[in-house]
Amino acid sequence: MNKIDKIKESIRKKIKEMNTTGTGASFVAGEGENYATPVAGKAPIYYYKLGFKPVNKKTLNKKAKGIDVKQLWEEEGQSSFDIEAYISTLPTDNEEIKKYIAGRLGDYNNLSDKLKELIQLISDAKKETINSYRENPQFKAIYGTDLAASLLDDVIELFKK
């Protein structure tokens, strides 16, 4: 066995299986001479085998001192809107109206913060539910998603014109 054959054999041993079908390929059980590879459709975990792990973006952003991190999914100017500067431009000298408007605009910031917290809680609840069903598959709701969806529908209706 020459050197090239040894390298090829070594590579064959390390690569157990590789899905080389194109994106248009499909497998239908029981029809024709199809072969479904055991790892087809599973997420690749090669980076784990190489010693890498996924990055926690929030932690990384906090550690990036001196670097401005821009979250691309936030609306332009959403976090930098200066309520006090806006209030000072209003065409009124009535301090009660200015205070009222500042409070209303502050309420929108509060709602946005609560929604961000809710998104994280929903994500955590989903993970907990997945783990619970993995350990003990049963007919049991871990969280009241039907009630939550109904309440969110009501909240959405409040903001529709």
pLDDT in tens, 91-128: 989 999 999 999 999 998 899 889 999 999 999 999 99
Flag whether 62 is in a domain: no
The Cα–Cα gap between 160 and 152 comes to 13
Q: Please give the sequence-ordered ranges of beta strands (E in DSSP) within 60-134, or none if there are none.
A: none
Flag whether 12 is in a domain: no
Q: Do the beta carbons of residue 27 and residue 34 sit within 8 Å?
A: yes
Residue 68 confidence (pLDDT): 72
Flag whether 53 is in a domain: no
Flag whether 51 is in a domain: no
The Cα–Cα gap between 125 and 142 comes to 8
Greatest mean pLDDT among 7-16, 28-37, 45-54, 87-96 lies in 87-96
Whether the CA torsion 57, 61, 67, 68 is positive or negative: it is positive
| Alpha helix stretches (DSSP H) within 15-94 | 46-49, 57-63, 83-88
Structure tokens at 51: 């010693």
Flag whether 32 is in a domain: no
Flag whether 95 is in a domain: yes
Domain coverage including residue 116: 75-158
Instruction: Report the domain count for the chain.
Output: 1
Flag whether 99 is in a domain: yes
Closest CA to 114 of 151, 82, 72: 151
Task: Say if pTM beats, i.e. exceeds, 0.85.
Answer: no
Q: 66: alpha, beta or left, given left = phi > 0 and alpha = psi -120 to 50?
A: left
Flag whether 59 is in a domain: no
> What percent of the residues of the chain are helix, what percent strand, and what percent coil, each to the nearest 5?
50, 0, 50
